[in-house]
Amino acid sequence: MFDVKTTTNAIVEWIKNWFDQNGNGCNAVVGISGGKDSSTVAALCVKALGKERVIGVLMPNGVQADIDDALLLVETLGISYYTCNVQNAVNSVLESLQINGVAVTEHTRINLPPRIRMTTLYALSQSVNGRVANTCNLSEDYVGYATKYGDGAGDFSPLAKLTVQEVKEIAKYLGLPISLVEKTPADGLCGKTDEDNLGFSYIVLDKYIREGICEDNNIKAKIDRLHTINEFKLKPIPCFEYKP
């Protein structure tokens, strides 16, 4: 049984200790999308460090239809924030590739904005004495639903061992707006929801992760396949072990 109070308090203490050891006096820099994960991470950092040490970064790619959700979050928490539109940077890279004769794939178009956003977070973080928060959860990581060196990057990761359902419980416990907690997860890049892209629900995935149970063998096989082919994203870069 998931104990939301104990887990929340433990994460808050973990964030405090991590900053004491890896960034004493630094600020937490959180990319704010308006979804449950970034909202929960920002709220946990506020509890651990105080709102004065948490900086939100809104990074629309042109016009973002749900930008009001991100604004609601920073207003609810009372944290300072910056808005950095990444559209020009994304378009510039794509144009450079095309000028050089590269046939840009759809996967490239989808994964480039998250990587530009992470570059933006680190650029800002370095300028404001910050440490970048990773906002991925266990469910997404388990099936590789994250962009390597994009949203999959960061300096510290409060939610990486928690499923979507557990993150939702923490968000509710922290008193975040229910509209953000229950917002349909989507990458905002391809026009589909996360669950449309995956082909199964997070409820089904979370049950399989925590209990090893999946009633549909086809879905089980798909989850197993996604986990296997994407596991490399969670591992350190392989390196040649030189032995003089």
CA atoms within 13 A of residue 113's CA, in its CB half-sphere: 21
Element spanning 80, H or E: strand 80-83
Quote the pLDDT of residue 186. 77
Residues 97 and 78: their CA atoms lie apart, in Å, by 40
CATH number for 4-234: choose from 3.60.15.10, 3.40.50.620, 3.40.630.10, 3.20.20.70.
Answer: 3.40.50.620
Helix (H, G, I), strand (E, B) or coil at 131: strand
Quote the pLDDT of residue 192. 79
Contacts of 28 (CB under 8 A, 6+ apart): 15, 19, 42, 45, 49, 53, 54, 55, 130, 131, 133
- Global pTM reads 0.95
Mean pLDDT of residues grouped by 10 in the chain (244 residues)?
A: 96 98 96 96 98 98 94 98 98 96 95 97 98 98 96 97 98 97 79 87 97 97 97 93 95
Quote the pLDDT of residue 1. 84
Enumerate the β-bridge partners of residue 57. Answer: 31, 82
Taking alpha carbons only, the member of 55, 23, 87, 233 closest to residue 149 is 233
Place of tokens 């808050």: 12
Quote the pLDDT of residue 101. 95
What is the gyration radius of the CA atoms in the chain, in angstroms? 18
Quote the pLDDT of residue 13. 98
**DSSP alpha helix (H) spans, 24-175:** 36-49, 67-77, 87-99, 106-127, 138-142, 164-173
CB 185 within 8 A of CB 195: yes
Domain boundaries defined on the chain = 4-234
